[in-house]
Amino acid sequence: MTIPLSRPPVDDEVKAAVIAAVESGQYILGPECKAFEQEFAAYNGAKHAVLTTNATAALWMVIKAFGAKAGDEVLVPSHTAFPTVEAICFAGVTPVFVDIDETYTVDVKDAAAKVTPRTVGFIPVHLYGHPANLPAVQELCAKHKLWLLEDCAQAHGSTWQGKKVGSFGRAGAFSFYPSKNLTVMGDGGLLVTDDDEVAARCRRLRDHGRQSKDIHVEIGFNLRFNDIQAAVGRVFLRRLDAMNDHRRKLAARYTAGLAGLPLVLPAETRGARHVYHLYVVRTPQRDQLAAFLKDKGVATGIHYPVACHRQPAVEHLKPPPLEHTDRIVKEILTLPISAGHTEAEIDEVVAGVKAFFRK
């Protein structure tokens, strides 16, 4: 039996929601999309939620709505999925790469050292499901008058001192990719904001810059969402807290089972609620451990083996090295976890890891 890295929990309720959406005859930004936006906004404590094709589009639209322009700089951790950086570049703004701390999220001290007169914003990433140090991020943004856009693509339902990520900055962006804590069984994204103007502008940008059916007030793009996937998202949103509780239970099982081995295990900062989009361990023997587990039918991943500041697409920016990021990318390994995994599967992975170190 093989154990996949992630397994979205599909069942009859999800299938029935899809069929009902198909039979409704309304497919693009229809009633399911409107309901999903309202329900997600309420869940996250936001005034507005705006659905779009993916989190990359959500980030790009928000950066545009914030009025960023060529020559502006935005602070961003290098240890993230490249789309975070891609959205900054596509908006015509310059990413400034920041190192990370022990939680794998942005090192705010390093960010502070990289603020220049050109810096306009900060995009912290709540990586692997663990929130970045939001009070420190907010303090830095307030001190330098920077806008704050949270990348919550891996952290649906994660909180800092009980307050949901995505509600600390001027806006937050989420992803619904199939492995995420909240999925729509395909690509999808959403942004949340309390800012009426940002929400209105993003709604225009996702729909060809339209103000009304035939009037285009700016150049937008087709970044609309669909009702079939929104119907799936609504089912999973109702279950999100329970699914996150299950992920945390599986993570605790990993942490107990792997204790005492020569592995660095995930930490949860005081005040943070980790929702374990990924369960990431560290060892200098990463590649050997991954190969050993693969032979036992256990899938693993590396998130991410090439840091953003090392990507060929941004070579022209000549980013300097980042001590912590450059070191950990050689050691990190993602073990299987999702709302669809069982305790027995986690135990099997733990047994495989223990067997490797006994060997």
Q: Quick check: bond before 276 cis, omega within 30?
A: no
The pLDDT score that the predictor gives to residue 9 is 86
The span from the first CA to the last CA of the chain, in angstroms, equals 22
Q: Mean pLDDT in runs of 10 for the chain (359 residues)?
A: 91 97 97 98 98 98 97 98 98 98 97 98 98 98 98 98 98 98 97 98 98 95 98 98 98 98 96 98 98 98 98 97 98 98 98 96
| Cβ atoms of 304 and 326 closer than 8 Å | no
pLDDT at 1: 67
- In sign, the C-alpha dihedral spanning 147, 158, 9, 337 is positive
Distance CA 144, CA 121 (A): 9
Domains along the sequence of the chain with CATH: 12-234 (3.40.640.10), 240-358 (3.90.1150.10)
Burial class (CB in 10 A: 0-12, 13-18, 19+), 335: buried
Task: Using a cut of 0.95, tell me whether the model's pTM lies above it.
Answer: yes
Distance of CA 79 to the CA centre of its chain: 12
CA distance 311 to 109: 24
- The reported pLDDT for the residue numbered 359 is 85
**Residue 322 confidence (pLDDT):** 98
